[in-house]
A and B are shown apart, each in its own frame.
Chain A
């Protein structure tokens, strides 16, 4: 799971000379929230987000309607963008969790993806959420199980061998440290084409583990 495979290639981009008015309508028409600004050779110069285009009313308060128009028409994205040196970016070959961590740390919603300094794509929080859905098997129906296991090696193997012994297969899985239960992990996985009760019967027999949640989705 590398950024390369999950980013949006060929994102919509703009030149620094684009006017603010144009950028606002360009982003609105195409329903995007982030607009990388590139120069010659798709080199990243900056990034414009919807918030950056909000003009402080205080700065306009003293102007009349004609002056506002003149003020706005003179602005280009270059004036409003976050400069490249302040934009968090990620490399094409980074992992998805690296991208997520960077976004969490900076509290931002998007990272331009660079390859040798040029913009080749963009990865946003939506991309990560879409992959989270896929990671947990959100692409089709099945039985979704959460099991709380002690933080020891060999616990997940117990689950997989119990499932494998029935000839079933896991279509998606993930594990997180159990919230508010130090020393335990919650394993979430999804199995297709198996009745819920049969599954519970098999998993319930595993010693030292507890089924926290099971549901057909």
Chain B
């Protein structure tokens, strides 16, 4: 007998091929008073042992419903209408409750977005963790404690024995998420469902958690179902990805195939919405997907994406496409996928941007805003009963920036580094403790209530969360009209027309005039927020994370809108964001803040290339890039931002700096003792660091593109 063995290096070939999770034609509906809402329809995918499979999509597309369906946590009104969910070959649909409870407890674990909701605030972490083992597996308390400490060590928790004694609120968000992950792994699950586990975390913490997930997946052979809206995160953690749209999977393949050669028009659209690291507004344009996701109760009769698709034809309106295989291991739900992929995409008319219209910033002009040595301290309650010594949280400590007219200054940094306090000080919501603030030659170190109304008019703000900044009981028209009346921008009889003009400018239109905030989507609310901010035609608009809460396609539209406003009105902007690709795309100058101070400031392109401040380098290496062909250097910061109550001596970054040991003599002792000098790299690019510029220049770029 002759057998062709073939050489194989994969030693797993002989193991069972049963997928850990196989979902077949799953449909889930929610019963409501007005009838059934088909939230998820015809979803199929499978996850093999030790594989990370992502489900990506915008909010409301049914990602979480699928995850809840798998563990049958659908709530009272949700039910699985049809389909099968095979967990290790066993059907979970219709499985007896008792058996399902065992499987859920022992073999499937879940990690959700907000770790605080998964932890009991009134129990010590150690008690919560050991409970999993003592109650479920009948292990003795002492032994259970030992296992928990080991597991905390495995998720790189500093000082695990001590953490066991603390309450959830006493550790940071990243650490809380580690505790939740450690708890999930205690039972050695075959399947780990993670629903946006890093969305609430800072980029640096997120990067560490993502590294951890990848490592655990290797070590424990756990299959991971990873749900996220962030294309960058998905590219980093997973090997396969399914793109969901309005309750259906529209494309499914390996990460490389989906990102580099998407077939479905929706996936292609998503890829055009996200700024890649290195793109800027003068050389490229973001193309938002027109329209919005249809509601599950009112789906189009044909292809669900047809109303927003640039390629829609008659057949798309009549017939619903099936998810079909286009290439080996690449599925898409589109009638004309092959043709579309060949045709290439040209922006529809009216969307072709006029990039030249973006005025160059006049560098020589007098700056419109001058902030010099500003300090904003918050008084902290002293711990001693009798003392005269006052303690301060140094939220902003000696910051100097200048902003030219018409330019956009980006401010980036981890949470708690003072970005928002700086902006609040400028707008007058916080009183500066010391320093000078000058705006168009006028002193603005007074709080807003004591400022001249003319200055208030010239300085406006767009907030992160449009929900909490719009008054729910006033109509859109009234809210946008208010600054117009207050600042007397237009005569009172023209306010109505002006509001409509503004609504048109926001691409909302007159019909939005009488709507209430609750009748608007997130993106629309943010547009109203922007309209209200620019109603008084301010010189300077401060944007505090204006797009972080929005979906990518909406984010692209809002960014374009802000750009158009800048083009038309020549508005100057200060733009806070944690997404470094967005900041790079949108801003001319960027300031990197760390613990109340600016660590590096300069033109956008200079910040993203060596020489870097070691902190900037770490931030750039942490940012998830939605492009699997890009290679990133692996620089990770240890620990969290130190307390601003008691900042480290010398260079504030020295406690976490990965570079000082290797690039400075004496292991960087100088950083602990002396405040670093500003190193000038020319063209306004300055770095606050002890390491000389020549050394910093020798650092390799963090991001390299391989194979174009």
Residues 102-138 of B contacting A (Cβ, < 8 Å): 102, 105-107, 136-138
Q: How far is the CA of A9 from the CA of B185 in the complex (A)?
A: 14
Contact call A8/B16, Cβ cutoff below 8 A: yes
Contact call B7/A139, Cβ cutoff below 8 A: yes
Contact call A141/B7, Cβ cutoff below 8 A: yes
- In the complex, what residue of chain B is closest to A126 when comparing beta carbons? B14
Q: How far is the CA of A179 from the CA of B187 in the complex (A)?
A: 46
Contact call A30/B16, Cβ cutoff below 8 A: yes
Query: Is A215 on the interface with B (CB-CB < 8 A)?
Result: no
One digit per residue, 1 when the CB lies within 8 angstroms of any chain A CB and 0 when it does not, for chain B 5-36 equals 00111010111111010000000000000000
CB neighbours of A79 from chain B (8 A): none
Does more than half of chain B's interface fall in helix, strand or loop, or is it mixed?
loop
Query: Is B90 on the interface with A (CB-CB < 8 A)?
Result: yes
CB neighbours of A207 from chain B (8 A): none
Residues 191-222 of B contacting A (Cβ, < 8 Å): 220-222
CB neighbours of A126 from chain B (8 A): 14
Contact call B88/A127, Cβ cutoff below 8 A: no
Q: Which of A17, A41, A139 contacts B99 (CB 8 A)?
A: A17
Q: Which of B7, B50, B88, B102 contacts A40 (CB 8 A)?
A: B102
Query: Is A194 on the interface with B (CB-CB < 8 A)?
Result: no
Query: Is A10 on the interface with B (CB-CB < 8 A)?
Result: yes
- Measured CB to CB, the closest approach of chain A to B561, in angstroms, equals 49
Q: Which of B49, B106, B139 contacts A42 (CB 8 A)?
A: B106
CB neighbours of B136 from chain A (8 A): 40-41
Q: Which of A12, A13, A134 contacts B11 (CB 8 A)?
A: A134
CB neighbours of B143 from chain A (8 A): 116
CB neighbours of A26 from chain B (8 A): 89-90
Query: Is A118 on the interface with B (CB-CB < 8 A)?
Result: yes
Contact call A30/B89, Cβ cutoff below 8 A: yes
CB neighbours of B147 from chain A (8 A): 116
One digit per residue, 1 when the CB lies within 8 angstroms of any chain A CB and 0 when it does not, for chain B 216-240 equals 0000111100000000000000000
Q: How far is the CA of A9 from the CA of B14 in the complex (A)?
A: 13
Residues 105-149 of A contacting B (Cβ, < 8 Å): 115-118, 120, 126-127, 130-131, 134, 139-141
CB neighbours of B7 from chain A (8 A): 139-141
Q: How far is the CA of A6 from the CA of B12 in the complex (A)?
A: 9
Query: Is A94 on the interface with B (CB-CB < 8 A)?
Result: no
CB neighbours of A118 from chain B (8 A): 137, 188
Contact call A10/B16, Cβ cutoff below 8 A: no
Query: Is B190 on the interface with A (CB-CB < 8 A)?
Result: yes
Contact call A12/B89, Cβ cutoff below 8 A: yes
Contact call B220/A9, Cβ cutoff below 8 A: yes
Q: How far is the CA of A168 from the CA of B137 in the complex (A)?
A: 53
Query: Is A29 on the interface with B (CB-CB < 8 A)?
Result: yes
Query: Is A15 on the interface with B (CB-CB < 8 A)?
Result: yes
Known: A9-B220, A130-B11, A139-B9. A15 touches B88 (CB 8 A): no
- Additional A-B contacts beyond A38-B106, A130-B14 (11; CB < 8 A): A10-B49, A10-B107, A11-B16, A12-B18, A12-B89, A15-B102, A32-B16, A40-B137, A41-B136, A42-B137, A43-B138
- Can you give 14 A-B contacts (C-beta < 8 A)? A9-B50, A10-B20, A10-B188, A12-B89, A13-B107, A17-B99, A29-B89, A31-B18, A32-B16, A40-B105, A116-B143, A117-B137, A127-B15, A130-B11
Shortest 7 CB-CB distances between A and B: which pairs? A41-B137, A10-B190, A9-B221, A30-B18, A30-B89, A42-B106, A139-B9
